[in-house]
Amino acid sequence: NAGVMQNPRHLVRRRGQEARLRCSPMKGHSHVYWYRQLPEEGLKFMVYLQKENIIDESGMPKERFSAEFPKEGPSILRIQQVVRGDSAAYFCASSPVTGDYEQYFGPGTRLTVT
Partner 1 sequence: GESVGLHLPTLSVQEGDNSIINCAYSNSASDYFIWYKQESGKGPQFIIDIRSNMDKRQGQRVTVLLNKTVKHLSLQIAATQPGDSAVYFCAEIGTGTASKLTFGTGTRLQVTL
| Binding residues for partner 1 (CB under 8 A) | 4, 31, 33, 35, 38-45, 48, 55-56, 58-59, 91, 93, 95, 98-108
Query: Closest separation between CB of residue 46 and partner 1, Å?
Result: 9
Query: Closest separation between CB of residue 51 and partner 1, Å?
Result: 15
Q: Is 62 helix (H, G, I), strand (E, B) or coil?
A: coil
CA atoms of 19 and 86, how far apart (whole Å)? 10
CA atoms of 48 and 111, how far apart (whole Å)? 20
Query: Closest separation between CB of residue 52 and partner 1, Å?
Result: 16
